[in-house]
Structure 1
Amino acid sequence: MSRWLAEQAGVRTARNVERTLMTRLHDAEVIDLASNDYLGLSRDPRLAEAAAEAIARWGTSATSSRLVAGTTQLHVDLENALADLTGMETGLAFSSGYLANIGVLTALGGPGTLIVADAHCHASLIDGFRLSRSRTETYEHGDVADAERLLADRTEPRALIATESIFSVLGDEAPLDELLDLAVRHDAMLLVDEAHSLGVTGAGRGSVFGTALAGHPNVIVTATLSKALGSQGGAVLGSAALREHLINRARTFIFDTGLAPSAAAAALTAIGIVIEEPERVASLHANAEAIANTLVPTLEPGQFDRGAGAVQSIRMPDARTALAASLVARAAGVAVGCFRPPSVPDNISRLRLTARADLSSSELDTACTVIERAIKEQK
């Protein structure tokens, strides 16, 4: 095993895909276009106060599985608030969005379920497909006709279509209305991962809210609490029957310690802020537009992928130049994401920028100037 580990390290280095941890200091003076704190809520004092109050009342841990002693009133309140926010009937909180995806897919999957998945689905969904023991077929990114082709000749009694509403790397939107129509016609469930749209689209309520998908019996929504909501955890939202099934069959719910009360309280507070302060979501979209308007003229045609939410990305020639540009930007005080294979679904290395709501105009101007220079230095 030691020899194999050394060989694997050599392969990663040769391919310029070696990853290292970068320690973030609490007082570092960095303009952050890398994190998923889309609404700038992770440092909001109201979330910190709610988390501290929850610790004082409930302790630092849920103390056990939700089925033993780990369900507090905070968990119930959070699940109800998430269902109301997204327009779904009920919700069930998990310890992370990753575990929520794995939990629902393994609980619904098996040899009798065909999964038809978008080619750009996140790793948490892919791991769920693999662990579900379901036959899984992948359709071309955003191609509803290709998804229908895969469903047309299925032999399994059950089927599930999986997609993200806003995709995590390119930031583009899925054709949700068309996918719902497809699901209904083929008696399939449609699972929509709202990780990058909750708090971002639909006035902060996500891409499903206010559409025909909201509350539809064929629709399942998964979400994370660790991005726009500035907390930690995840959730599955859907029908009451689905919730009861997950409580009894989702192993990542049954056998995991419940979400910490502090995280539940912070997320619950964040939901209230999203509803009461719509200007935060508006600011996010204005900042995304400002980033695009500033950088697109400085780049090659087609190099900038304009996202529908916070995520914007810049195509780079290869993994080496993407990493080099990100390091140059970091040294100049601007943090950007560096996404390289295998983290990119189309094998194109990218700089990934997040247009956070709390970035000022001067910060955006500085960041764009630094990013433009960092990219030009790689030519």
Structure 2
Amino acid sequence: MEHTNLNSLAQVEINGEDLPKELLLSDNGRYTTYYAPFEFVNESAKVVICGITPGIQQATVAIKAAKEGIEQGLSDTEVLRHAKHSASFAGAMRRNLAEMMDFISLQHWLGIDSCGDLFQTRQDLVHFTSALRNPVLDQGQNFSGGGAMISNRYLWDQIQDGLVAEIKSLPEDCIFIPLGQGVDAVFEKLASEGVVERKRVLSGLPHASGANAERIAYFCQRKERDQLSDRTNADKLDAAREGLLAQIALLSGKQSVSTGKKLQKAQGALKMPAARVAVANDEFATASHGEVKRIYATGKVKGEPTLFTAKHDRSGRYVLNRKKSSPTTGNTTNRAENKVYTATLREAAELLESGEFLINVVTENGVRALRSYRSVVVERVQ
């Protein structure tokens, strides 16, 4: 029996450890699917945050919230709205999500002060959902996602019936933020099938759980590369960060949402057809190895996406720093003795490609930064 009637929750007893058998929807042997009140769709949303599937704890919170709403005599719509908001990305995950979304300047695209408002005063702008809308358990445990969401017919059918139906009811200009292992791949497949536009899928944010604190800190540039543990792939996070900043810049330009002259310059630079652009899956589109016209990157200055460009110094040379650190002296990359100078951008690009150097880049207002080869765009002469 499919439990789509909220009144069926009134008599259900929950213990927080298991989902009630009365709410079982289907079982294919390995995977079991339970009903939980996550049907609400915010059809006016501008941003959609999509996880894997509700876990047992999340479903329990939603069921409790729905039962409370029913007891208070709320309408079905209000009960479902309350249940979904109560259970969606609670606690530290909300803070982490807000910080990362603010870092890539999504708040400017939305026209709000901070993405933290999406969880408080501007819930009208956000829709929370999951690739698998109802809780799916894997052999009785929370399902952790992965390729099975695409390859397993039982799971893919649920995505088609739930997520795809939701997407079709949402505004065409909303953007999607996939979170969790395998959710990026789900949206890639949906994009290939024409369900969503690739440019509106912001892939690459680190997972927002508290256990992912180091990756989040590095993504938001609160932690330096030389302070990272071996578990964190800095190159992948650099590529994801730069790609997302560029994507927001492009979307902002096309949506006529002004985020300042620097954003417009970044947008123009990132449209260059011959550019080598880092993307979140660590693949790169490479230009021909001709003369280098420009080396640049996007970054953040006072919260704004900003264009950084390699410029020659007063002597007419480009400045790079050899990566250098030791257990006794720490990171000495930025010391004068580790600076290297080149006469041309082509020579600078060749040193960068070795992986042993960082290049000095600067904004139009003189803010300087060091960038690795994977974090810059090398624009070559056609």
- Shared fold (TM-score greater than 0.5)? no
- What TM-score, normalized by structure 2, do the two folds share? 0.22
Q: Which has the larger radius of gyration?
A: 2
